[in-house]
Amino acid sequence: MKASSLLFPLPKHLEDKDGVFRLHETTSVAAEPLLNAIGDQCAALLGCKRGGEDILFKVQKEMAEEAYRLTISKTQIVVRSSTPTGAFRALSTLRRLALLGENLIPCCTIEDEPSHSWRGLMLDCSRHMFSVTFIKKLIDIASLVHLNRFHWHLTDDQGWRIPLDGYDKLATIASKRTESQYTDGRTYGRLYTKEEILEVQAYAHAHHMLVIPELETPGHVSALLAAYPGLGCTKGPYAVPDSWGIFDEVLCAGNEEVFTFLEDAIGQVAALFTDPYLHIGGDECPHTAWDACPACQNRMKELGLEQSHQLQAYMTSRICKLVEQAGKRPIGWDEVLEGTEQLGLPKDLIVMSWRGLEGGIEAGKRGHEVIMSPNTAGCYFDYKHLDSEDEMGNLGVSTLRDVASFACAPPSLDPSVQENILGGQANLWTEKVCSAKQAEYLLFPRLLLMAGQLWNPQQSETNLRMRSLLQQLCDRLDVLSYRGPVS
């Protein structure tokens, strides 16, 4: 087999050579000091030993952060990069070749770097929780195909998952919901511990992925309001729902206690998660409660606002300031663009476009950086693989062909907007996903196809011709995967 027939995502430049490098337990690994940690990972992941120079990691300055050069001959493998991240991307390519070539690595030369800086995967752990072991398995596989962002959805209507000092009711009330399909009062859910969160974060960092926690605001907060009803417009009582949808209960825009809580919560989350970003939600926020709330109506008069939906921009702007004070950069779903006629939006806010590409394009025109994650173009992996009653999935369909065709922006897009698009992201919402094996089936092989489109986009037919290869990779990685038609 040639390297060109074994690699996905496809490198930017690959030249096949004759012969193979035979990988075995006596193969030795060496690395220059900057890349020593990658040398250790290489030995562990490929079953080699440290010491000699059968596999050599060398520093080559003035290469881009994630770029690498890989030379594989019959007698030696040489990796060149300017950073540990670039070296790790090369190691991931080597590992895929070893997995699919059964430790016979085809000789070749590769020069590679990504097309997009943001290559993400979101996992919803509010609706259904997943073990640290499974999350680490996903991070390992995602990094193997060059994804570099783990967006962790940790709060929503159906459960709050982040521990905060001084807020004990998050554990006793907000993290649990009564399972209404049973009559015995059983509950579902808990908080992740700080130790678990730090374990996931450390593992992601070792795999050169950033972790982006999400705190939903100002909507999707039923669980929080159940624990602290004073943060809502009606003051409760509220309950953690065991049903799915959009709920009218939202944070009260006219109550300063809301911002006192958010300042503390954001500060604690920012201290726990060390990467540069914090997602503030912003999606699917009804305005019904604001319409009827005297405090919110007074806030509107103070600000000179004419309609309740404009409070969304007010909330977004204040929350973004809290995020920035905590040393992070805010990200919000594309609804943050709504109601901004008078108050506008902070320019530093990154917009994640999920309701098609249009919101992202509009945000890019306004000068915001953008992450494309449209449910209309194959990015929602809770959707069915196929429009069939025999397939699991929820709300829609994202076929393999849809994912294989994904592009972060139309080619005709104005270059000034194009340069604001950081990349894209796959999302797995889990209202109907309650086990790791269900999650795997919905994620694979779609996640591999998405990774390819974010690293080095190809025509859909080129991607789909690799279907059998992707299936082999799923089998080698021990993940359950969809094996049906592509569309």
Active-site residue list: 156, 220, 284
User: How many angstroms separate the Cα of 13 from the Cα of each of 33, 270, 356, 404, 437?
Assistant: 27, 39, 32, 20, 35
249 conformational bin, left if phi > 0, alpha if psi -120 to 50, beta if neither:
beta
User: How many angstroms separate the Cα of 290 from the Cα of each of 230, 249, 295, 299?
Assistant: 15, 10, 8, 10
Task: Give me Rg for the CA atoms of the chain.
Answer: 24
Between strands 370-372 and 55-59, the pairing is unpaired
Is-contact 437 130, C-beta < 8 A?
no
Could you give the angle at the alpha carbon of 400 between the alpha carbons of 396 and 406, nearest 5°? 85
Q: Angle 132-144/194-206 helices, nearest 10 degrees?
A: 20
Take residue 416 and report the two structure tokens written for it.
């000034």
Take residue 89 and report the two structure tokens written for it.
């991307």
Residue 298's Cβ-side half-sphere holds a number of Cα atoms within 13 Å equal to 8
* DSSP category for residue 384: B
Between strands 68-72 and 49-50, the pairing is unpaired
**Dist. CA 292–CA 297, nearest whole Å:** 8
Q: Which residues contact 64 (CB under 8 A, 6 or more apart)?
A: 82, 86, 113
